[in-house]
Amino acid sequence: MEFRHKSVLLEESIEALHIRPDGIYVDGTLGGGGHSYEICRRLSDGGRLIGIDQDAAAIAAATKRLEEFKDRVTIVRSNYCDMKKELGKLGITSVDGVILDLGVSSYQLDEAERGFTYREDAPLDMRMDQRQTLSAKEVVNDYSEMELYHIIRDYGEERFAKNIAKHIVSARKEKQLETTGELIHVIKAAIPAKARATGGHPAKRTFQAIRIEVNRELYVLDHSLGDMIDLLNDKGRICVITFHSLEDRIVKNKFRESENPCTCPKEFPVCICGKKPKGRVITRKPIVPSEEELEENTRSKSSKLRVFEREIQ
């Protein structure tokens, strides 16, 4: 199956990066190479792009797509949380821009065997990196009822989380849940018929929650944004595209902290904590897709772009 993914907020994010032709840029979520292609088009022979992705199918697709720019492109199979380490291996200690597009690719959703989709019956998987051992199957069958409840409530923002967790634990006593179809059947039974009739697919929020847990998505984002900001040169920018409120909140708070890190009590006349601002937030409100993009690409619906610019004192 061909790796397809329509890049969300493409023009807005490329414009926000303020690309310098001879700069070094990192696409931490390479995917099919949509954002990277537009960055490469704006680079001179002195510029460089490093693309990072943990998905082998994405690496293959992006390598093909960026073939014409291969002299200025380096592609690395890794998680963006290891960006600093991976760049260090390439002898790079600072960059001019970073972009993250945190959405699951259309390819990952559409290729049923990956187990991301609730539209077809497939093995419970949901791993973005097929090399890791933890998959959706282990989460669903091995986590306690309380752990499942917290994950579905917190990561899926699902109001029937308690009942869904209870139903999963009850069902797996009979036999292990092996497929997305079996899990969907259990979720549907846990949600009142009236609620199932509105608000999209009844399994959507639970699947999102399990996917986030399997891939440690929020943990990785929360623990690596600071490092990425530190990698930026003066006037370098980081652009992050999120797809749900939990990710967006992390980005908003990290950017705000980096702009104003002072932890002194408000009543102190002068700062004594010594924490210096790392730069400024460019987007006071997130940039959202245009009406035109929403019509063309329904998956852009919940996307938000936030931008931070490094200022070295």
pLDDT in tens, 238-286: 999 999 899 999 999 999 999 999 999 988 998 899 899 999 999 999 9
Question: CB of 105 within 8 A of CB of 93?
Answer: no
289, pLDDT greater than 60:
yes
In the chain, alpha helices (H): 10-16, 34-41, 56-65, 83-89, 106-110, 136-142, 145-156, 161-174, 180-190, 193-196, 204-215, 217-231, 245-259, 291-296
Tokens of 70: 């291969």
99, pLDDT greater than 70:
yes
Question: Which residues fall within 8 angstroms of residue 39, CB to CB, at 6 or more apart?
Answer: 14, 17, 19, 25, 27, 49, 97, 99
Give the span between the Cα atoms of 91 and 69, in whole angstroms: 20
For the chain, the residue count is 313
Angle between helices 204-215 and 180-190 (to 10 degrees): 130
Give the mean pLDDT of 290-303: 87
Instruction: Find the helix or strand (DSSP H, E) in which 236 lies.
Output: strand 232-242
Q: What percentage of the chain carries pLDDT values higher than 70?
A: 96
Residue of 118, 82, 125, 143 whose CA lies nearest to 201 = 118
pLDDT of residue 1: 47
**Which residues are paired to 306 by β-bridges?**
240
Instruction: Find the helix or strand (DSSP H, E) in which 98 lies.
Output: strand 95-101
118, pLDDT greater than 60:
yes
Q: Higher model confidence: residue 269 or residue 146? A: 146
CB atoms within 10 A of CB 255: 24
Sign of the CA dihedral running 84, 88, 93, 96: negative
Q: Whole-structure pTM over 0.85, yes or no?
A: yes
